[in-house]
Amino acid sequence: MASETIIQLRRGLAATWTSTNPVLAAGEMGLETDTRKMKVGNGTSPWNSLNYSIKQVDNILIDSNTISSLNLNGDIILSPNGSGDVKVADANLVVGGDIYSQTSKKIATEDYVDAVKQGLDLKASVRAASVSSITLSGLQTVDGVELAVGDRVLVKNQGSSAENGIYVVSSDSWSRSTDANVSEEVTPGMFVFVEEGLLNANSGWVLITTGLILLGATSLSFTQFSGAGQISAGAGLTKTGNQINVVGTEGRITANADSIDIASTYVGQTTITTLGEISAGSWKAEVVTAPYGGTGLSTYAVGDMLYASGNSTLARLPAGLSTYFLKMNSNGTAPEWSNSIDGGTP
């Protein structure tokens, strides 16, 4: 007697399947009638734990949320009928892969467009960049980064600068990266971003060599083009993201949009001229002595006279009477007032 093959199929709305969450028998199929998606049971797992059935059409494999090609390096082409569009509804279209290999008919990323606007030939980022001449072979540490096989490295400090360029780490001899291993791909303005490193992390480097470049023969010189991530705030500054701010002192120093001023509320500010002169205010310090341009005296009367009473010292001689005249004292050390003449020639 011939054996019988039974195909068991259950159907229902997607919400019903989710709420009841049944266990399908091994090989039993469940169809969501509203979404037209199907799952195949294994006899143990409930509905919500099962993946939707994989669908293969020719060389295209549809598995859950992934569409892939079964051909090695095969393309996936979305071709609308007539004037229809390929649309991504209520979501972001994220473009990956090598952004430097775009052609006129490919989608360009924002990074790529920005680089082209600045005349840069953008390459895929590197993990580290050299800070001195290195051996182009084996596993090693570059700029504090312990490299692994397959890491991309910007080599820019070789004794023979013709060796400079972008390399891929190997346990044996390193090779130039596939995006920069022929002369046509190494052009003036070639730009690469460095991801890690004690000195080079978050920096961008550009090839400044001009003219015709013959890879392996032409000296290649790289210079830092960007590096906002390397900037730190010093004394009197703060850093938020890519913005550097001056730290003012309330009531004393004001940081304006494009200038730094003494605060208008600072005591005495309005009396300080641009020439450094003090036009008003009260002196709050001690009496200024003669060595510093002062007198060492704090009070005077009308008619008083100042005289040098010693080296770098001044003294005050009170005003004399109207019938007195000024003369030196008998020691010849200070002036004095007198109303008589003793000796001399009349």
345 vs 338: CA distance, rounded Å: 17
Q: Provide the whole-model pTM.
A: 0.42
Taking residues 137-145, what's their average pLDDT?
96
What does the DSSP 8-state code read for residue 99? G
241 vs 239: CA distance, rounded Å: 6
Taking residues 236-247, what's their average pLDDT?
74
Is the pLDDT at 8 greater than 60? The verdict is yes
Residue 314: pLDDT band with limits 50, 70, 90: confident
CA 205, 208, 211, 213 torsion-angle sign: negative
Which of 2-6, 72-76, 161-165, 290-294 is the most confident on average?
161-165
Render pLDDT for 191-209 as a digit per residue (tens, 0 to 9): 999 999 998 998 999 999 9
Beta-carbon contacts of 83 under 8 Å, excluding residues fewer than 6 positions away, are none
**Domains within the chain, CATH numbers bracketed:** 9-69 (2.10.10), 121-229 (no CATH), 231-282 (no CATH), 292-338 (no CATH)
Note the pLDDT of residue 99: 47
Q: Is 22 exposed, middle or buried (0-12, 13-18, 19+ CB in 10 A)?
A: middle
Which of 248-257, 278-287, 293-302 is the most confident on average?
293-302
